[in-house]
Amino acid sequence: MTNPEDRQYQFDFIKGTAIIFVILNHAGIHEKYFYNYWNGQAVPLFITVSCVLACLSLFKNDSLKDYYSKEKVKKALIRIFKPFILAQILLIIVYAALNKFSIHSFLASGGIGLGSYYPWLYLQLWVLMPLMFYLMKKSALIGCIIIILVSIGTNVLFSIFSSSQWLEFSFVNNKKHIYLSIYRLCVNRYLFIFPLVYLLIEKKLRYNILLFFSFISVVFIYCLRYKNVSLEPFIFDSGTWKVQEFPTHFYTILIFIILYKIYDYIPKVVQNIVNRIGKYSWEIFIVQMVYFAINSYFNINNYLNLGLALFICIIPVYTYKFMEKPIEIKRN
C-alpha cells in the first residue's frame, strides 16, 4: 500500500461498500444481525479511506503549505459543501412547508437529514490529519498516546457537562440531547483511526497485534451496545456513537484490510458496479440524506424502504454522472 493511484479501485470498492452500508442502516436494517459489526462500520470505513489517502499523500509531499494551499482548500470546500448546502436549502424549504423546521434543531444537528453531521466531521478531520501525521512521524508511540488522551479527554468533558448544572439551555427540555447533538458533530471519536493507518502504511502493524486488539474491539462493542455496559466518564454515553470510539478502531482497520485484500477475488462485474458506486459515494450520500429526511414522514416497510432507497439514491446519481460526460464520436 505505497502508491495511492495503484490502489484507487480498491478504495472505490471500500467506499462503495460503505455507502451501501449507510443506506442499509438508514433504511431501518439496523439493530438486527449484530449490525454494529458490519453496516455499523460505514462511517469508520469512510474515515479510514480518507486517512489512507491523506497519509499516502503526506508521505509523498509533507509540505503543510501545499496541503493547506488556497487551491486545495477551495477544491475541498466546493467538493464537500456545494452539494450539501444545495441539499440543505431544499430540505429547509420542504420542512418549512410542513411546519417542521426548527432553527435550534438545525444548528445543533449541523443540518437536516441522516448524516448531516458528516461534512462538519470531515472538515475537522481534514484540518487535523497533517498535524497528526507530524506527531506520528516524530514519535509513533507518543502520537498514539496523545491522540488516545485527546479522545478520552473529550469524552470526559462531554460526560461532565451533560450531567452537571454548569450549562443550561432554555430551548431544550432534555439537556443531554443538546450534548449528544454537539458530540455527533465532533471528530474526536474517530481520531485514533489515523495513527493506525499511519502504522499500517509504515508496515509497523502486525497481523497478530491487529487480530488481538480486534478481538478486544469486538468484545468492547458487544459489552457497550448489547449489554449496556457504561464506561462513563471515559466513554461518553452517546448511544450508537459510543461503539465507534477508539477501542473499536482495530476492528475497523481489520474490516478495511479484508475488503482491500479480497478485491482481486471478486467477479469483475461486481467490482465495476461497487467501484462506480464508491466513486460517486459522496453524491449518493447527499441524495440519501434528502430521501430519508422526506421519507421519515411516510410509514414504509423497512425492506420496501431499502429497495426504494437503493433505487432512488443510486440510479439518479448514475444517470446524472453519465449525462455530464461529453458525447464522443470516433475519428477515422
Express each pLDDT in 99-147 by its tens digit: 889 888 888 889 999 899 999 999 999 999 999 999 999 999 999 999 9
Q: How far is CA 92 from CA 84, 100, 190, 272, in A?
A: 12, 9, 29, 36
Query: Over the stretch 226-245, which tens digit does the pLDDT of each residue have?
Result: 888 999 999 998 888 899 99
Structure confidence at residue 5 (pLDDT): 46
Query: Mean pLDDT, to the nearest integer, of 25-47?
Result: 83
Residue 152: strand, helix, or coil: helix
Query: Over the stretch 151-160, which tens digit does the pLDDT of each residue have?
Result: 999 999 998 8
Question: What are the residues whose beta carbons fall under 8 Å from the beta carbon of 159, sequence distance 6 or more?
Answer: 232, 233, 234, 236, 237
Cα 172 to chain centroid, rounded = 27
Residue 211: strand, helix, or coil: helix
Q: How far is CA 114 from CA 166, 231, 282, in A?
A: 30, 27, 14
Q: What is the pTM of this model?
A: 0.89
Query: Over the stretch 7-27, which tens digit does the pLDDT of each residue have?
Result: 579 999 999 999 999 998 888
Query: Mean pLDDT, to the nearest integer, of 192-211?
Result: 94
Tell me the pLDDT band of 171, cut-offs 50, 70 and 90. Answer: very low
Query: Over the stretch 71-103, which tens digit does the pLDDT of each residue have?
Result: 989 988 998 999 999 999 999 999 999 888 988
Structure confidence at residue 294 (pLDDT): 87
- Angle, CA of 168, 170 and 171, to the nearest 5°: 125
Task: Outline where 164-280 has alpha helix (H).
Answer: 175-184, 193-201, 207-221, 249-262, 268-279
* Cell numbers 467501484: residue: 275
Query: Over the stretch 272-315, which tens digit does the pLDDT of each residue have?
Result: 999 999 999 999 999 999 998 888 777 676 677 778 888 888 88
Based on its alpha-carbon atoms, the radius of gyration of the chain, rounded to whole angstroms, reads 20
